[in-house]
Amino acid sequence: MAKTISLFLMDGKANGRIKCTITGRSGVIFKIPRKDLGKSKDRDELKYDGVYFLLGEEDGREKIYVGQASSRKNGKGILGRLSEHDRNGEKNFWTEAIVFTTTDNSFGSTEIKWLENKFCNMAIKAARCDVTNGNEPPPGNISEEKQSELEEHVEFVLLILSAIGYKIFEPKKVSQPPPVVNSGEEIFQLSRKIKTLGRTVNAQMKRTSTGYKVLAGSDISPLDAEKLSTPMKKLRHSEKVMNGKLLEDVEFSSPSGAAQFVLGGTADGPREWKLNGVSLKNFLQ
């Protein structure tokens, strides 16, 4: 179905603030550079309830934070929350914000909590940016009818973002062949269901004379546990990994290090890695 998307350049330039709407829809999206927050105080829609995405780059990696704000809590809605982020410097990576709300302030606390959870999980699965949310936002409880309505809002957001050049929720299409396995090689498998991702991570590893090598083509969970070491986090989010896939073999001194690299958290490697259902621990005895 044909749609008319309106992009209003609020400052008369493409790299300034942009208001995005679709004819017949109550949803409205604002793209606001961080430096232009002060110019937006007169926008009533930014005093409403809604969700927002903080975008920027740090240490050579694109980052995103997904948040929500309620006008009922501080009387200032989304703009008030963005101003807090601007002042406290806790998430200092961001250079612009994408805001999603409605022209009639029809979102309530339940709706914005569900949308925050939805977009956070979509960003994690897309793996285009490092998601800086410390914890997964709770989805709240909504009816089937309300979820169907909110899914339409999600489609609206994705359509608008695509139109203005943002693909933060679209997984990269990378064709990665499975690792080449020579006949007779001992190739250990790791398979674990990651509930937050809603899918299973599968990886392959083989023993070498110097350690344990995770093979190219293995799944790499994009989620990091808080206690994961900084060097391990950097390796997991380096150019060796793209769209949740390992692009080249990486060797570790221990099977647990190899498992932590794949899963992003504490892991008992000798038990996690298996060959034909038999754990590596039994091979090492």
The string of pLDDT tens digits covering residues 92-140 is: 899 999 999 999 888 988 999 999 999 999 998 888 888 988 777 778 7
Do 66 and 207 lie in a common domain?
no
Nearest C-alpha neighbor of 100 from the set 117, 118, 115: 115
Domain carrying residue 82: 5-163
Nearest C-alpha neighbor of 116 from the set 174, 58, 50: 50
Return the pLDDT at 184. Answer: 61
DSSP 207-221: E-SSSEEEPTT-B--
The total number of structural domains that make up the chain: 2
Contact assessment for residue 43 and residue 61, using Cβ atoms and an 8 Å cutoff: no
The answer to whether residue 96 sits within a structural domain is: yes
Nearest C-alpha neighbor of 187 from the set 87, 283, 50: 283
Do 86 and 222 lie in a common domain?
no
> What's the pTM?
0.64
Name the stretches of the chain with pLDDT < 70.
1-2, 71-75, 172-184, 285
Do 218 and 139 lie in a common domain?
no
Return the pLDDT at 144. Answer: 87
pLDDT mean across residues, the chain: 87
Residue where one domain finishes, among candidates 95, 130, 163: 163
